[in-house]
A = this chain, B = another copy of it.
Amino acid sequence: MSEATHARAATGRRTTRVSLDGLRKHFDNAPAPAIAHLDLQTEEGEFISLLGPSGCGKTTTLRCVAGFEFPDEGRVRLNDEDITDLPPEKRDIGMVFQNYALFPHLTVWRNLAFGLEMRGIGKAECRRRIDDVLAMVQLTALAERYPRQLSGGQQQRVALARALVIEPRLLLLDEPLANLDAVLREDMRVFIRELQKRVGITTLYVTHDQSEAMVMSDRVAVMLGGKLLQFDVPEAIYMRPRSVEVARFIGRSNLIEGSVEGLTDEPGPYPTYRVSTALGSVPASHDQPLATGQPVHVTIRPEAIRFRNDGPYAGRVQSAYFLGSTVEHTVQCAGGQGLLVQTSPGRRLDAGAQAAFAFDPGHAWIISAAP
């Protein structure tokens, strides 16, 4: 173990592929499985977010990877090594807990030293590594403090440092920002992401905050009810949701029911169809062939809709909230369809105004009912 450690110390980074194959976990007394069936493969050095509503199985997945929970079925592999049955302390995985789980009786320094001591790493090497990591998280000055003497953000960084200093093969983070206030949370997001890029360590990140997942991840895995709904880069998840659930969960979105009228020949990266909806006939894109008459949903993001006097659609502004950098309008359209429209403050309309609006077919995406 100590030899391997030295090798790692030399390179300074260890990249790993994680592979979850057919994971299933059903707790005793639970009505439904926490993880119904999960397949998920990462690339080396990727930052993956597990995103989903409360109770969808994110934590359980992470705990199976960490070794605190043993799956009923399926395997967990790191670089093809099957670790499903290893106890947690043999897995060499760094974990950051939602409440940080810092050892309250140890100083920052000794919190960081803990994992190294467990590995029997010598004094000098310990000191070097801890110094490095402390510098990295900008906590060198606070090494002798106890956790309770630190602010939330500082505690968070200690937790991160403690997981990183053992130079693990994989980093797991379970809602590490949930306990921070909005301002601090934003700072920590950037911090974690930049650190992860610098160290290059493969990371699984659990959150139920979609904007967090969007900003931070290389790829996002959206879960619901113990199943994986979609696993793709953030932009695809946001712009091209595969299901109504994903569209609803990721950002604010307008979902309009309709049925396919036919393919058009508009140019664009994806084929454009016309869809008959309450708004009228609407152009929207999809990457799969669709049959005429097929019932579908069209999703349009609020910021993709623009008020334009010559716009083909019309409605009445019901409310307008100033959100600082943007204004959010609710618009009641013909046919009873309600829409959310987000504009910059310069283009706001006041409540009660008549609005005409438009959107690009490239920003309207079709979700086919049967995925």
Interface residues of chain A, those whose CB is within 8 Å of chain B, are 53-54, 178, 181-183, 208-212, 214-215, 234-235, 238-239, 250-252, 301-303, 321-326, 342, 344-346, 360, 363
B-side contacts of A214, CB under 8 Å:
322-324
The answer for the CA separation of A239 and B182 in the assembled complex, in Å, is: 21
B-side contacts of A250, CB under 8 Å:
324
11 A-B pairs in the complex with CB atoms less than 8 angstroms apart: A54-B181, A214-B324, A215-B321, A235-B322, A235-B345, A238-B324, A251-B325, A252-B325, A302-B325, A303-B325, A325-B326
Contact of A181 among B178, B183, B235 (CB under 8 A): B178
B-side contacts of A303, CB under 8 Å:
325-326, 344
The answer for the CA separation of A325 and B343 in the assembled complex, in Å, is: 11
CB distance from A321 to the nearest CB of B (A): 6
CB distance from A66 to the nearest CB of B (A): 22
Apart from A215-B322, A325-B342, what are 16 other A-B pairs with CB-CB below 8 Å? A54-B181, A181-B208, A182-B212, A183-B208, A183-B209, A210-B324, A214-B322, A215-B323, A238-B322, A238-B324, A251-B325, A302-B325, A303-B325, A303-B326, A346-B360, A346-B363
CB distance from A138 to the nearest CB of B (A): 19
CB distance from A153 to the nearest CB of B (A): 11
B-side contacts of A323, CB under 8 Å:
211, 214-215
The answer for the CA separation of A181 and B81 in the assembled complex, in Å, is: 37
8 residue pairs, one from A and one from B, having the closest CB atoms: A303-B325, A182-B209, A214-B324, A251-B324, A238-B324, A211-B324, A215-B323, A235-B322
CB distance from A305 to the nearest CB of B (A): 11
The answer for the CA separation of A212 and B345 in the assembled complex, in Å, is: 17
The answer for the CA separation of A360 and B344 in the assembled complex, in Å, is: 13
CB distance from A261 to the nearest CB of B (A): 25
B-side contacts of A301, CB under 8 Å:
325
CB-based nearest B residue for A249? B183
